Amino acid sequence: MAAVEVHLGGTLKSYAAGRESFTLEAANVMQMLKALGEACPALKPVLDRGVAVAIDGEIYREAWLQPLKPGQEIYVLPKLAGG
């Protein structure tokens, strides 16, 4: 497992007392979201309801096993609505 830097986008920062990024140990999106919820318990209910994850500018939804690597630009965003 590698350390990845994860940034919070949109309103998610307000759940983390304004904190914008976390360095977490995670090999994939599922592990990253679990570690983020442990690092910031106030975010856990929001993460459980669903969020979008952007990796190097591409948005992933429910791609739990998408691998993560150090140096990637990773953002957790509020769930995107629309159709």
Give me the sheet containing 74-78, strands edge to edge: 21-26, 2-8, 74-78, 51-55, 58-60
> Does residue 83 fall inside a structural domain?
no
pLDDT tier for residue 61 given thresholds of 50, 70 and 90: confident
Total structural domains in the chain? 1
Encode pLDDT of 8-51 as tens digits.
998 999 999 989 999 999 999 999 999 999 999 999 999 999 99
Q: How confident is the model at residue 83 (pLDDT cuts 50, 70, 90)?
A: low
Query: What tokens appear for 40 in the block?
Result: 């910031």
Q: What is the CATH number of the domain that holds 21?
A: 3.10.20.30
Instruction: Please give the model's pTM, rounded to 2 decimal places.
Output: 0.91
Output 48-51 pairs: Cβ under 8 A, ≥24 positions apart: 49/79, 50/79, 51/12, 51/76, 51/77, 51/78, 51/79
User: Residue 7 belongs to what domain range?
Assistant: 2-78
Once rounded to an integer, what is the mean pLDDT over residues 55-83? 89
Residues paired with residue 26 on neighbouring β-strands, in sequence order: 2
